[in-house]
Amino acid sequence: MATQTKSQVQAAFFQTLKKAYSFYTGGFVAFVILLAIAEQMGLPRKWIGYIFLFATVGLYAGIGILSRTADIAEYYVAGRRVPAFFNGMATGADWMSAASFIGMAGTLYLTGYFGLAFVLGWTGGYCLVALFLAPYLRKFGQFTIPDFLGARYGGHIPRFVGILAAILCSFTYVVAQIYGVGLVTTRLVDVPFEVGVFLGLGGILVCSFLGGMRAVTWTQVAQYIVLIVAYMIPVIWLSVKHTGVPIPHVVYGKVLEKVTAREAELIKDPKELEVRKIFAERSAAAKEKLKDVPKAYQADKAAATNRLADLKAQNAPSEQIKAAEGAIPASVDAAKAAYARDAGLAARSGPPLRHAEAFPGKDDQARDINRKNFLALILCLMVGTAALPHILMRYYTTPSVKEARQSVTWSLFFIFLLYFTAPALAVLAKFDVYTLLVGSEFSKLPAWVAAWQKVDATLLSITDINKDGIVQLAEIVIGGDIIVLATPEIAGLPYVISGLVAAGGLAAALSTADGLLLTIANALSHDLYYKMIDPHASTQKRVTISKVLLLVVALIAAWVASQKPADILFLVSAAFSLAAAGFFPALTLGIFWKRANKWGATLGMLAGVGITFYYMAMTQPWLRRVFGVQSSIADNTWWDINPISAGIFGIPLGFVVIIVVSLLTAAPDKETQELVDHVRYPHLRGDIDTQAT
């Protein structure tokens, strides 16, 4: 065997993997079919949920245990022999989180064209990864992103700033994933949310605890297969139902035209106008009451009490009496909360959004602000994508620079499969709601409507506002997450597909959570402990410390998630702006500009993150409360940019500070300049070797 070259070994390994995962995919499909048959024969729904949860998590655990390792290169970078194709799949699963899987189509449903900023931003960022980072980081070939900052800029300070930035963006992100895991688990097996979080935590840990990057890689490939199958089946079914064509991507343009025509009808439909007018009136009345709450409370209480007395005197039916009892406000505070809620109904008094219209707005100025924020958000998401350490880390695991480049192509291809399906799903679901649900009678609502109303009223609630017995669009409140979760039921598919979709959401959240946990634990164990505190630690000790830290970080993140922190979605988006401003300038200039030095990079990273965070703290409602900011939001915004896109200020500032400070201080030494040459060429004869083993 000694005569075999590295590429022959790699080729044999690739064949083995291909066989194993083909077998796995076939087995998974057979498993779903068997469950579907069992369902027809009377297997209860509850059991289907349990089987899906334990079968998929058990499978990941099996892969995790088989991949256990104490070897340092296996633990940190999967032995650097993950073929481009499989690294692409693993990156796809690493990348697509619960938000992509469950939330994306819903965001597109609710925001129309604006939602495409997420689709474009979260894919186009891979162009930056491919052109500016992945091949060079692979050539550098160590274990973490702070590793590169430490080696390129010299000394502990840039590395330390890198560690802080990596933890800041990864931790907020991982909390959101564990939250997602908790939600899906709760839905699959009907346990309280806190129990779901810790059940899910078990699922996360079995994938990463024993085998680090090696185990995470091979479970992520398995998770990608589950999630893409789960996402595609209901959409294809829905497409066949509406268009007769099983490829929704090709044909939903025609459906979009129908949706647009229907929107035009609904915007001026007299019944719709009637409902919207009721909302406007209620909102106006509530705003009036809010001006003097105690007085309005007394008046309302007296009126409601009188009505109750009247009903009792007339011997009205008991449910009417009960309703009247419930209508009496309990206290001034309860009344105030109710008024505030009613005042918010103004949001429902406007006409429905035109799905295909770019940058809607009441005048040119509003449209312009809308467009500015759309483009700024795309830029922040793209640059943020190219700066998130858990993604960049994946490109350390390929066997060569060449495969690292190919691997980015495969990554984006596998991500593309899901992301170009989500807009189709949003349009198909909208068509169903606008044509089947709107205009139907309240007495004949489909069963899934009642079922989901009961599960969670924020996901779906329909009330007959104008009492005409017919559903108007304005009477429907939809939460984004339901689009993916309820599609199987909307399409009339068996329950087993609903279980499959939930398992797909679970796979998406677990895989991302694992990648993030590993990033944080490695930043602490490898960069902070080994590189900065105890450089003489044995490899055995380093792996053990990594595993312990992984467990600790996971428990802390699960505890935070179980507290249901406010504005979790904002925190995730904030992670992109912070990563973009913190890492991207320092990483790219480190490769493309030899003159960039330690002080430039350190101050540039701090300035980028600093201004991004400052802008968010001044303009985002939740952060403003946390920091007690008093001045008005309007005074604090710059060029009307939303806080989610704060990176738009941090990215250029990061670049400018690095360039100016580097030019004002001494050039990096010869060794550093040679390191830059080293990473620029896949192979130089007689060159240094920076690869860590």
Instruction: Report, in Å, the least distance between residue 389 CB and another protein.
Output: 20
Among 26, 253, 350, 469, binds another protein (CB under 8 A): 253
Does residue number 256 form part of the binding site for another protein (CB under 8 A)? yes
Question: SS3 of 421, please?
Answer: coil
Does residue number 86 form part of the binding site for another protein (CB under 8 A)? no
**How many whole angstroms separate alpha carbon 95 and alpha carbon 411?**
9
Give 423 or 505: the residue with its C-beta nearer to another protein: 423
Instruction: Report, in Å, the least distance between residue 358 CB and another protein.
Output: 4
Among 190, 257, 292, 333, binds another protein (CB under 8 A): 257
Q: Which of residues 108-127 bind another protein (CB under 8 A)?
A: 113, 116, 119-120, 123-124, 126-127
Instruction: Report, in Å, the least distance between residue 407 CB and another protein.
Output: 9
CA 10 remoteness from chain centre = 34
Instruction: Report, in Å, the least distance between residue 463 CB and another protein.
Output: 32
Instruction: Report, in Å, the least distance between residue 686 CB and another protein.
Output: 6
Two tokens, residue 128 = 């930056």
Identify the CA nearest to 94 among candidates 515, 501, 522. 515
Give 172 or 406: the residue with its C-beta nearer to another protein: 406
Degrees, nearest 5: CA angle 468-470-473: 115
**How many whole angstroms separate alpha carbon 415 and alpha carbon 227?**
11
Give 320 or 370: the residue with its C-beta nearer to another protein: 370
Does residue number 684 form part of the binding site for another protein (CB under 8 A)? yes
Give 287 or 367: the residue with its C-beta nearer to another protein: 367
**How many whole angstroms separate alpha carbon 128 and alpha carbon 419?**
18
Does residue number 192 form part of the binding site for another protein (CB under 8 A)? no
**How many whole angstroms separate alpha carbon 167 and alpha carbon 162?**
9
Does residue number 310 form part of the binding site for another protein (CB under 8 A)? no
Identify the CA nearest to 377 among candidates 124, 546, 17, 25. 124
Instruction: Report, in Å, the least distance between residue 81 CB and another protein.
Output: 14
Give 63 or 418: the residue with its C-beta nearer to another protein: 418
**How many whole angstroms separate alpha carbon 81 and alpha carbon 407?**
12
Does residue number 423 form part of the binding site for another protein (CB under 8 A)? yes
The identity of residue 462, as a single letter, is I
Among 63, 130, 513, 520, binds another protein (CB under 8 A): 130
Identify the CA nearest to 217 among candidates 25, 77, 418, 123. 77
Among 539, 680, 690, 691, binds another protein (CB under 8 A): 680
First to last CA, the chain: 22
> Could you identify the residue written with the tokens 């702006």?
577
Give 427 or 459: the residue with its C-beta nearer to another protein: 427
* Residue 639 near residue 605, CB atoms below 8 Å: no
* Residue 185 near residue 200, CB atoms below 8 Å: yes
Give 440 or 690: the residue with its C-beta nearer to another protein: 690
Two tokens, residue 573 = 């988006």
Identify the CA nearest to 476 among candidates 442, 438, 425, 446. 438
Does residue number 552 form part of the binding site for another protein (CB under 8 A)? no
The identity of residue 664, as a single letter, is L
Q: Which of residues 220-249 bind another protein (CB under 8 A)?
A: 249
Among 333, 436, 681, 693, binds another protein (CB under 8 A): 681
Two tokens, residue 387 = 């700066």
**How many whole angstroms separate alpha carbon 474 and alpha carbon 238?**
24
Question: SS3 of 4, please?
Answer: coil
Instruction: Report, in Å, the least distance between residue 192 CB and another protein.
Output: 38
Does residue number 569 form part of the binding site for another protein (CB under 8 A)? no
Give 283 or 406: the residue with its C-beta nearer to another protein: 406
For residue 436, the surrounding DSSP H or E stretch is: none
* Residue 21 near residue 217, CB atoms below 8 Å: no
Does residue number 639 form part of the binding site for another protein (CB under 8 A)? no
**140-148, 186-194, 351-359, 548-556 -> range binding another protein (CB under 8 A):** 351-359
Does residue number 352 form part of the binding site for another protein (CB under 8 A)? no
**183-191, 339-347, 611-619, 677-685 -> range binding another protein (CB under 8 A):** 677-685
**How many whole angstroms separate alpha carbon 285 and alpha carbon 339?**
9
Does residue number 135 form part of the binding site for another protein (CB under 8 A)? yes
Q: Are strands 476-478 and 460-462 parallel, antiparallel or unpaired?
A: antiparallel
Instruction: Report, in Å, the least distance between residue 137 CB and another protein.
Output: 15
Does residue number 131 form part of the binding site for another protein (CB under 8 A)? yes
Give 60 or 118: the residue with its C-beta nearer to another protein: 118
Give 272 or 403: the residue with its C-beta nearer to another protein: 403
Q: Which of residues 361-420 bind another protein (CB under 8 A)?
A: 367, 371, 374-375, 378-379, 382, 400-402, 405-406, 408-409, 412-413, 416, 419-420
Does residue number 24 form part of the binding site for another protein (CB under 8 A)? no
Instruction: Report, in Å, the least distance between residue 379 CB and another protein.
Output: 8
Identify the CA nearest to 11 among candidates 89, 84, 63, 77. 84
Name 441's bridge partners. 470
Give 9 or 37: the residue with its C-beta nearer to another protein: 9
Two tokens, residue 219 = 């479970």
Among 11, 12, 37, 358, binds another protein (CB under 8 A): 358
Two tokens, residue 244 = 């007769």
Instruction: Report, in Å, the least distance between residue 314 CB and another protein.
Output: 57
Give 151 or 255: the residue with its C-beta nearer to another protein: 255
CA 4 remoteness from chain centre = 43
Secondary structure of 91-143 as H, E, C letters: HHHHHCCHHHHHHHHHHHHHHHHHHHHHHHHHHHHHHHHHHHHHHHHHHHCCC
Neighbouring C-alpha atoms within 13 Å toward the C-beta of 626: 13
**212-220, 353-361, 545-553, 647-655 -> range binding another protein (CB under 8 A):** 353-361
Does residue number 677 form part of the binding site for another protein (CB under 8 A)? yes
Identify the CA nearest to 352 among candidates 480, 262, 256, 440. 262
Does residue number 595 form part of the binding site for another protein (CB under 8 A)? no
Count of residues in contact with another protein, rule CB under 8 A: 56
Q: Which residues bind another protein (CB under 8 A)?
A: 5-7, 113, 116, 119-120, 123-124, 126-127, 130-132, 135, 249, 252-257, 356, 358-359, 367, 371, 374-375, 378-379, 382, 400-402, 405-406, 408-409, 412-413, 416, 419-420, 423-424, 674, 677, 680-684, 686-688
